[in-house]
Amino acid sequence: MTVERLPHSLPRRLPVRTLRDRLPVRSFRGRLPVRQVLCLLPLALVAVVAVQHRAVLAAGFGHLASAKWPWLLAATAATCMTWVAASVTRQGALVQRLPRRRLLATQFAAGAANHLLPTGLGASAVNLRFMTVCGVPLARSSSALALYLLAESVARVGLLLALLIVFPDALRLGELLPEGAVGPLLLAVGGAVLVAVAVLLLVRRVRAAVFAFLRTALGEARSVHTRPARALALWGGSFSFPLFQAAGLAAVGQALGLPVHPLHIAVAYLAATVAVALVPTPGGIGSVEAALIVALVAAGGPAAQATAVVLAYRIITVWLPLLPGALTLGALVRLKVI
């Protein structure tokens, strides 16, 4: 048997530079610009939102200058505790243990994403990506997200109803909606429910996907509630989150001398946030301010002072953490945590 030899004209080894030059450029450089763009995108969005709301920012900082600083520090502390409460609730909605420090950093970054994208979508996308990187299957992470949203909604509405029962005169509900707006609102909600039910019943693929998701979600919820620590974290965090938010608004009200009882301010906050929960604006910017002002006026506060309190409150809870949150979001993307 004879062995054929390669011609002497062909080199036995290709230089590394020659091999790299012959391969497609995208294999070496295609991924880098995308990740860099994702890291810089939150900062660009912060700049755009800040320019759009520069008048609100100027007015809010002006009101903070005349406020009582101890109460402002209390509002800042309550705002920081909301990220801890969100982290506890996220962990409580999932059986698998998540890294605590990364989970807390992710909630801080998710808050910034939530203010830059339509309400709920930013935080949900960040947390889904985080759980995926942590090795949680998509079905389980989606179920955990749905359980988190359900628990937080139940806790918020439950707190509002409980406070309205204890303080029935805290809020004049008739002033929250314009006259004659209740009927059209109920018709719109009823129509949306009917459309959703019709799609669910008539479209087989949608029905199969929904039922499969519900089976997974119910199984995950059952597993969570068989572990007392997870159930306590889920519901304790769900009730703590809106309480810390309401406490922050009440502290700002005290800082600016709003003549409304702090518990009545909490009722106004819960009523306003429940009312705007379905408004698809980035972080509720604009809609939340309007609803809070109307709610505080309905609770007995003067319109001018209510406006000052809301603007100062949104500076503390939205605008001050927005840039650090965007930087954290970019860092987490760069470090491949999300």
* pLDDT tens digits for range 295-337: 999 888 898 888 889 989 988 998 889 889 988 988 998 888 8
Give the bridge partners for 118, in sequence order: 282
Q: pLDDT confidence of 106, banded at 50, 70, 90?
A: very high
pTM comes to 0.77
Contacts of 251 (CB under 8 A, 6+ apart): 71, 72, 74, 75, 78
**How large a percentage of the chain has pLDDT more than 70?**
72
pLDDT at 223 over 70: yes
pLDDT tens digits, residue range 72-102? 999 999 999 999 999 999 999 999 999 999 9
- As for how many domains the chain has, the answer is 1
- 105, 328 in Cβ contact below 8 A? yes
Residue 87 lies in a domain: yes
Amino acid at 224: V
Going by C-alpha positions, the residue among 70, 82, 60 that lies closest to residue 254 is: 70
Q: pLDDT confidence of 32, banded at 50, 70, 90?
A: very low
Span 247-271, average pLDDT: 93
Average model confidence (pLDDT) for the chain? 80
Helices marked H in 26-120: 26-29, 31-52, 54-65, 69-92, 100-116
For the chain, report the end-to-end CA distance as a whole number of angstroms. Answer: 59
Going by C-alpha positions, the residue among 59, 105, 129 that lies closest to residue 321 is: 105
Contacts of 250 (CB under 8 A, 6+ apart): 262, 263, 265, 266, 269
pLDDT at 192 over 90: no
pLDDT tens digits, residue range 36-75? 666 666 667 667 666 766 776 677 777 787 788 899 999 9
Q: How far is CA 188 from CA 192, 218, 231, 286, in A?
A: 6, 29, 35, 22
Residue 3 lies in a domain: no
| DSSP string covering 94-119 | -SS---HHHHHHHHHHHHHHHHHSBT
Residue 196 lies in a domain: no
If one counts every other C-beta atom within 10 angstroms of the C-beta of residue 213, the result is: 14
Residue 269 lies in a domain: yes
Going by C-alpha positions, the residue among 242, 214, 221 that lies closest to residue 144 is: 221
Separation of alpha carbons 117 and 128, rounded Å: 15
Residue 67 lies in a domain: yes
Amino acid at 281: T
Would you state the pLDDT for residue 279?
59
Domain that holds residue 327: 36-178+228-334
Separation of alpha carbons 115 and 111, rounded Å: 7
Would you state the pLDDT for residue 30?
46
Question: Hey, CA dihedral for 120, 121, 124, 130, is it positive or negative?
Answer: negative
Separation of alpha carbons 42 and 108, rounded Å: 13
Q: How far is CA 102 from CA 84, 122, 125, 327, in A?
A: 12, 17, 16, 15
Residue 146 lies in a domain: yes
Q: pLDDT confidence of 229, banded at 50, 70, 90?
A: very high
Residue 62 lies in a domain: yes
Amino acid at 55: A
Separation of alpha carbons 28 and 19, rounded Å: 12
Residue 215 lies in a domain: no
Going by C-alpha positions, the residue among 129, 137, 66 that lies closest to residue 96 is: 137
Q: How far is CA 70 from CA 265, 269, 292, 305, 313, in A?
A: 18, 21, 23, 19, 14
Question: 3-state class of 282 per DSSP?
Answer: strand
Q: How far is CA 76 from CA 69, 102, 174, 220, 249, in A?
A: 10, 22, 32, 35, 10
